[in-house]
A and B are shown apart, each in its own frame.
Chain A
Amino acid sequence: MKFSVSSSELLKQLQMASGAIGSNPVLPILEDFLFVIENKRLRIAATDLETSITTEIEVMADTDGSVAIPAKILLDTLKELPTQPITISVNEENFAIQITSAFGKYKLAGENGQDFPKIPDADGVDNIKVQSPTLTKAISKTLFATSNDELRPSMTGVYFQVDFNKLTFVATDAHKLVKYTFTDIESEVSTNFIVPKKALNLLKGILPAGGEVSLAFNNSNAFFTFGDVKLVCRLIDARYPDYNAVIPTDNPHTLTLGRTDFQNSLKRIAIYANKTTNQVILNINDGSLTVSAQDLDFSNEATEQMACTYEGEPLNIGFNAKFLIEMLGVLESDEIKMALSNPTRAGILFPTEKSDDEEIMMLVMPVMLSN
């Protein structure tokens, strides 16, 4: 088996697929790319058994065949080559690989492509279609709120709720929660599943700026397809927490204020907050918000005051500044609203401007105040 391809074109595809390769693979072959040539098309696959990425590129090839090639050594070689045609030939007896560039020859040991784990096929699936920018946006708005707690696997992913032409993403780490709904999709089903964080992170990095993404899914896997790229991931097999039950229905006090002003204030005040809790205290009165923090261990303290619109009882409430800063960063409107009830209940954060085709709502639990 032997084929020729542009070094930079090949590198581009390999970099896309390489994200799926895990850092400590359980099998040595998982450190490889699978190369399969069929009808002058090279299919490249990488997997960590949970998430797989495959991509395709046209090559000049004499025969069909397959081989597993060590990923790191191949990527490193291609990165050091200026753009030029290269030839890769594979000894079909022992899978020895030889790369030929304009400068010389490079030999490395490959493995039998037949030994590479099989990547799941999209069979028995339902299908929805969503625009790539919409999907990218939805992932960016929710992924940050997912948990890293492996003991509660359901929260380490984003919950997809498909409701015909409406798709809702929910993410939470038990302290903060984001619910993002958008309608820009084509679907004929109503279902839900949890997509792991790693897959969405990879997806975010490789989704194109435009075009359509097909999202297919069955009981165990989700398949994202766009152009020649396909990302397959195993779904998280767990029950998502009943998040609706924790959304407060009666938060009578509403605070309205400029999003960036609030965020910038929090960024400054957070510098003075206790480094473990990141606690900032919002002291809200009619027409004025005082943001303050202190770190008793270092005698650090900061206070800022800003104008706001407030309807409700005067309130003192503590939050993790990092959470608020992240959440405000995800919102886009100039003004935001916070609906609060008391210092131990979740606050609701949402934009003042509503859009027809998307809706976002965030919750954040307070950090307890001292007496």
Chain B
Amino acid sequence: MDAFYASVEQRDFPELRGKPIAVGGGGRRGVVAAASYEARKFGVRSAMPGYKARAACPELIFVKSRFEVYRKISTQIRAIFAEYTDLIEPLSLDEAFLDVTENKKGMTSATLIAEEIRKRIFEELQLTASAGVSFNKFLAKIASDINKPNGIKVITPDEAIPFLEKLPIEKFFGVGKVTAAKMHKRNIFTGADLKAYSEVELINLFGKSGRYYYKMVRAQDDRQVKTSRIRKSLGAERTFFEDINNKNAMLAELHKIAATVYERILKSESFGYTITLKFKSPDFKICTRSKTVQTLIDDEEIIRTLAKELLYESKNIPDAVRLLGITISNFPNDNAGAGEQLSFDF
């Protein structure tokens, strides 16, 4: 989906259409969860702190996120996918791999299926989607970004190798900012540059991922479309050079961890109901304290507040810690209510 959250907001609130908007990030310390294309022109990106986004685009309109709505639309999109194939691997709420080698409609062209799905999403949900069509997951994922928004890109087997050779290294799926910088240092800027390295060299440079890069740049990706990937929890933790022995310092560290956790939450759209703090004392004893809330934890401020409450209100928290961590769990499942035994209304 193109600028998914922002597009949904613009769809539901016509006054936002054609304007630079940011979903989330309106609070004092929040970060942007999604930016409309109008906002992206000014350099507003998701995961950007709200104040930076405002600085980049003074006219930016901040709107509150409505994850329940996004989740519902996501279910509707997946229902459309399911009419074509059962082999669906969701990457996030608004992105999924579909294996249409054998499809329910008996269509022979993956490109036509992609066009039909895009058309239906637009007609039924008034939202635009982009598609990438190719013979493996890696290429399909990269292709989907090429003609965004509202576009489609097909990479045929003949085109694959030349395409990858020309592709800037940061566009490779799985190459993040840090890896890209590392590669730039070694004068790797395109697929062709990467190809000059042997598998052993890449493994030496990038560890296990090296083998992945080696294969990807040669369009060798035989990973199957996995139909279920269920995340149970998501978190981050930090180990300190020196033990921390007062609560104010712990809170400061928890705030830093909260930022990382929130970034990860946003990336994987794993909003949960339970937050757990983890403490490791200098003698390596681990203790956890958790709290479950009624509404989804979908804001960095909420994580900070809950972490603070847990830190100050729980009993038997170690006086000193060598490690702190925050984990979010208890994610709602998409089929909420399914399997529930109903009762009489006595």
Residues of A within 8 A of B (CB): 172, 174-175, 177, 241-243, 245-246, 274, 276-277, 279, 320, 344, 346, 363, 365-371
Contacts and interface: CB of A to CB of B under 8 A. Distances in A.
B295 interface: no
Contact of A344 (B335, B338, B342, B344): B342
Contacts of B343: 174-175, 365
A246 B345 CA distance: 7
B339 A174 contact: no
A243 B343 CA distance: 12
B342 A370 contact: no
Contacts of B346: 174, 241-243, 246
Contacts of A344: 342
Contact of A277 (B339, B344, B345): B339
Contacts of B339: 274, 276-277, 279, 367-368, 370
A9 to B, nearest CB: 47
B342 A365 contact: yes
Nearest to A344: B342
Nearest to B72: A371
Interface string B67-98: 00000000100010000000000000000000
A368 B344 contact: no
Interface string B309-346: 00000000000000000000000001101111111111
Range of interface residues on B (Cβ < 8 Å) = 10 to 19
Contacts of A177: 344
A367 B344 contact: no
Interface in B227-252: none
B337 to A, nearest CB: 5
B73 to A, nearest CB: 13
Given A174-B346, A242-B346, A320 B338 contact: no
A177 B342 CA distance: 13
B345 A368 contact: no
A175 B338 contact: no
B328 to A, nearest CB: 23
Q: DSSP class of B's interface residues: helix, strand, loop or mixed?
A: loop
B165 to A, nearest CB: 42
Given A363-B344, A369-B338, 16 more contacts: A174-B346, A175-B343, A175-B344, A241-B344, A241-B346, A243-B344, A243-B346, A274-B339, A277-B339, A320-B341, A344-B342, A366-B342, A367-B340, A368-B338, A368-B339, A371-B79
10 contacts: A172-B344, A241-B344, A241-B346, A242-B346, A246-B345, A277-B339, A365-B342, A365-B343, A370-B338, A371-B338
A276 B338 CA distance: 12
A368 B75 contact: no
Contacts of A363: 344
A367 B341 contact: yes
Contacts of B79: 371
A21 B211 CA distance: 73
Contacts of A366: 342
Contacts of B345: 245-246
The 6 closest A-B pairs by CB, nearest first: A370-B338, A241-B346, A370-B335, A365-B342, A277-B339, A246-B344
Interface string B150-191: 000000000000000000000000000000000000000000
A277 B341 contact: yes
A242 B75 CA distance: 38
Contacts of A367: 339-342
A371 B335 contact: yes
A180 to B, nearest CB: 17
Nearest to A174: B343
Contacts of A242: 346
A297 to B, nearest CB: 11
A371 B75 contact: yes
Contacts of B342: 175, 344, 365-368
Contacts of A172: 344
Contacts of B335: 370-371
Contacts of B341: 175, 277, 320, 365, 367
A368 B345 CA distance: 15
Contacts of A277: 339-341
Given A367-B339, A370-B339, A346 B75 contact: no
B77 to A, nearest CB: 13
A159 to B, nearest CB: 12
Nearest to B346: A241
A177 B343 CA distance: 10
A344 B337 CA distance: 11
A246 B344 CA distance: 7
A349 B233 CA distance: 43
A172 B75 CA distance: 36
Nearest to B335: A370
A245 B344 CA distance: 10
Which of B335, B339, B340 gathers most chain A CB within 10 Å?
A: B339
